[in-house]
Structure 1
């Protein structure tokens, strides 16, 4: 029997360690990368290597996120604020789950720490049965550029933005505002959704440099529509007067008549001389916009009241309206705003939508070269979006065809 051949031994494996490209980055870049992590995760990177031991102390941002163990988060933040270097911050994001009474003092402390560290972007989001009540102290920062607030109770001193000359973006969602005036010369982007204004009168919004505006009165807490002062630089505005809007005509009927048409003003529709609204509440302030979206539930009298003093929309090119503008006899509100929009190019009507998707899309075109002399000669696109062509839709389309000399086709 021939002798067995000896097997050749396998070559020894050579362990090659991949180069640590991340650790090779400069400190400034690693500080920026760590700012995207929750603060707990950012601190835990100190065990990776000697190189990472102290990087967390100088991150350019803080993401304070607490959903479960709030007591642990409060203790953690107490030590972090003591040990962290006093370097400037770009962003501070505080997002808590169910907000409780014990969180009040701590969140106010973290907020003031953010301002002290020259944060450029500050986010405060809480949820639960309680709102975050901020200390009634002035907000003073020459560095703050954006402020994002959710479910926050805002006292008068905090929302006085005279001490924030660089503030450009402000978002307020489900906040309670105890102030008669919101004023900022630097503000360019403003979003107010579902907020409650608790002084019983119209809040005046003065932001002459505003470029974009979102105003949505939604929710279940009644509040009066804010009065908008002139915004000469405005480009885009989206306004929705929903359930949260307390400006309801008590004499409104199914024919689309408000108190002004019946000469019997209800208690809500009676003009209030000291409400700061002058001739118009909304339309006068946003008349310089290029793109407008104006929607309202029935019975809300603000737009109907403003139309009596309808301004001229000299820059308006695209306009989106809902069925509110088509419910009055003869489409009077719709035709009024069209006659005051001399350069309008596109009109979109979203009528009686039940869901999020538009099932039907009708596009209008002029029957001939002639069009009503009072309507913009630039108006080339008229769209109707709806769920089904029911009787209400059919009546609106028929009136549009007669008033604008157009015909519709399905797309």
Structure 2
């Protein structure tokens, strides 16, 4: 038999560092998605990685390490050294997310915020889960910042004056204490104020003439006054159970005591300068898409309707039962009368959603003579849990203007 051929052994597999083969600017971008602790630890991977973290385009200071919560006291020494050793390169994003926070930690966090501004950060996030961070009462001065997201912090007067931030376009505030009487920016396009509060005895004025989208949900305190927003396209306003602007004698028939001579303290409490102006509706009257929701006791929308503007651009409108509580449905009729180009109306009645038990689709056929219904209206939706007498009252009102419904 011929001698058996010896099989050649396969060459050893040599690991290829595909990430390490990427150019520096791409690795800096990859590192920007890591928490600062993890980004620094990449220095042990290889000689190539030794100093890459120093020029990362993002800085993420987070109070987590191997899924354990860390306080500011646990990490501030590390962060201080990191800021000293970093290259003096610009930052695209800075995130400061902390779960545990105490009053003694304020100087450290404020220093980190100022460092972000100094490094020309374009996006800054400050998120405090548990604690009271009071940001320095100094205005932000940055020609580069475009996005600012704040959560769980106290904001005082000069901080919310963004005159020195000409590039700022997005501002999101969640669960913040607002201690300023003005929020102003000539460049802001998107504003979100969610579950924030104010202890001020006056209304906060919002001056953002370039705004395109607005979200105002669950504000506690005197409802903010919205200045003219001529470029506004979309606004979502949901006035939660805010007792500062709630009628103390509101009855089950949808009548506010402000309509009577014996008005409660809240209903008659109108500051100088607001007695003949709208609080909300005037500022958002240019919007194309509106959602206007309110708890039943809130009187702000009802008071605004006495000086109701014309919603000359409004195409889609979402309302809840607040607008249908009055015996003659005057609030609903008023806003429809002042929305001449409205195309779609959605009524969300006594049902929070998003999944509603009953959905009715309606269509409108114009009829001869004057009508409270806009002539362009072609879609009417009514969403509810059950068709009870309260919903039937609304359907009867709409049917009187030649709107016919079908169940889905």
Quick check: TM above 0.5?
yes
Deviation digits for residues 284-304 of structure 1, max 9, x if unmatched?
Answer: 000000000000001100000
Q: Which residue pairs with 2:216 in the alignment?
A: 215
After TM superposition, the structure 1 stretch with the greater mean CA deviation from structure 2, 67-76 or 309-318, is 67-76
Q: Which residue pairs with 2:122 in the alignment?
A: 120
After TM superposition, the structure 1 stretch with the greater mean CA deviation from structure 2, 156-165 or 330-339, is 156-165
SS at match of 1:330: coil
Q: Which residue pairs with 2:108 in the alignment?
A: 106
After TM superposition, the structure 1 stretch with the greater mean CA deviation from structure 2, 63-72 or 86-95, is 63-72
Q: Which residue pairs with 2:247 in the alignment?
A: 249
Rounded Cα–Cα distance in structure 2 between residues aligned with 1:196 and 1:290: 28
CA, structure 1 residues 299+31, in 2 after alignment: closer, same or farther (shift >3 Å)? same
TM-superposed deviation, 1:10: 4.6
- CA RMSD, 1 decimal: 2.0
CA, structure 1 residues 278+189, in 2 after alignment: closer, same or farther (shift >3 Å)? farther
After TM superposition, the structure 1 stretch with the greater mean CA deviation from structure 2, 327-336 or 357-366, is 357-366
After TM superposition, the structure 1 stretch with the greater mean CA deviation from structure 2, 298-307 or 365-374, is 365-374
SS at match of 1:329: coil
Among 326, 337, 340, the alignment partner of 1:328 is: 326
CA, structure 1 residues 168+368, in 2 after alignment: closer, same or farther (shift >3 Å)? closer
Rounded Cα–Cα distance in structure 2 between residues aligned with 1:308 and 1:228: 17
Rounded Cα–Cα distance in structure 2 between residues aligned with 1:6 and 1:353: 86
Q: Which residue pairs with 2:267 in the alignment?
A: 269
Among 23, 28, 49, the alignment partner of 2:25 is: 28
TM-superposed deviation, 1:6: 8.3
Q: Which residue pairs with 2:148 in the alignment?
A: 147
Contact 1:144–1:164 at 8 Å: present in 2 too?
Answer: yes
Is the counterpart of residue 15 in structure 1 residue 12 in structure 2?
A: yes
Contact 1:208–1:230 at 8 Å: present in 2 too?
Answer: yes
Rounded Cα–Cα distance in structure 2 between residues aligned with 1:141 and 1:13: 60
Rounded Cα–Cα distance in structure 2 between residues aligned with 1:295 and 1:198: 23
SS at match of 1:127: strand
Q: Which residue pairs with 2:59 in the alignment?
A: 62
Segments of structure 1 that go 5 or more residues without pairing to the other structure are none
Among 45, 48, 72, the alignment partner of 2:42 is: 45
Q: Which residue pairs with 2:182 in the alignment?
A: 181
Rounded Cα–Cα distance in structure 2 between residues aligned with 1:352 and 1:232: 32
After TM superposition, the structure 1 stretch with the greater mean CA deviation from structure 2, 7-16 or 353-362, is 7-16
Rounded Cα–Cα distance in structure 2 between residues aligned with 1:214 and 1:368: 33
CA, structure 1 residues 44+371, in 2 after alignment: closer, same or farther (shift >3 Å)? farther
**Alignment TM-score, normalising by the size of structure 2:** 0.94
TM-superposed deviation, 1:376: 1.5
Q: Which residue pairs with 2:225 in the alignment?
A: 227
Contact 2:234–2:290 at 8 Å: present in 1 too?
Answer: yes
TM-superposed deviation, 1:11: 2.9
CA, structure 1 residues 20+348, in 2 after alignment: closer, same or farther (shift >3 Å)? same
SS at match of 1:44: helix
Rounded Cα–Cα distance in structure 2 between residues aligned with 1:46 and 1:331: 68
After TM superposition, the structure 1 stretch with the greater mean CA deviation from structure 2, 140-149 or 6-15, is 6-15
1:188-203 to 2 correspondences below 5 Å: 188-203=189-204
Deviation digits for residues 321-376 of structure 1, max 9, x if unmatched?
Answer: 00000111121100100000000000000110155421221001236755853321
Contact 1:217–1:225 at 8 Å: present in 2 too?
Answer: no
CA, structure 1 residues 358+7, in 2 after alignment: closer, same or farther (shift >3 Å)? farther
Contact 1:248–1:300 at 8 Å: present in 2 too?
Answer: yes
CA, structure 1 residues 111+371, in 2 after alignment: closer, same or farther (shift >3 Å)? farther
1:304-315 to 2 correspondences below 5 Å: 304-315=302-313
TM-superposed deviation, 1:267: 1.4
Rounded Cα–Cα distance in structure 2 between residues aligned with 1:365 and 1:155: 49
CA, structure 1 residues 371+195, in 2 after alignment: closer, same or farther (shift >3 Å)? farther
Rounded Cα–Cα distance in structure 2 between residues aligned with 1:185 and 1:367: 43
Contact 1:294–1:320 at 8 Å: present in 2 too?
Answer: yes
CA, structure 1 residues 397+47, in 2 after alignment: closer, same or farther (shift >3 Å)? same
SS at match of 2:173: strand
TM-superposed deviation, 1:124: 0.3
TM-superposed deviation, 1:101: 2.9
- Residue correspondences, number: 403
TM-superposed deviation, 1:91: 0.6
Rounded Cα–Cα distance in structure 2 between residues aligned with 1:355 and 1:369: 33
Rounded Cα–Cα distance in structure 1 between residues aligned with 2:211 and 2:149: 17
Among 93, 96, 116, the alignment partner of 1:94 is: 96
SS at match of 2:307: coil
After TM superposition, the structure 1 stretch with the greater mean CA deviation from structure 2, 151-160 or 262-271, is 262-271
CA, structure 1 residues 261+295, in 2 after alignment: closer, same or farther (shift >3 Å)? same
Rounded Cα–Cα distance in structure 2 between residues aligned with 1:377 and 1:351: 24
Q: Which residue pairs with 2:169 in the alignment?
A: 168
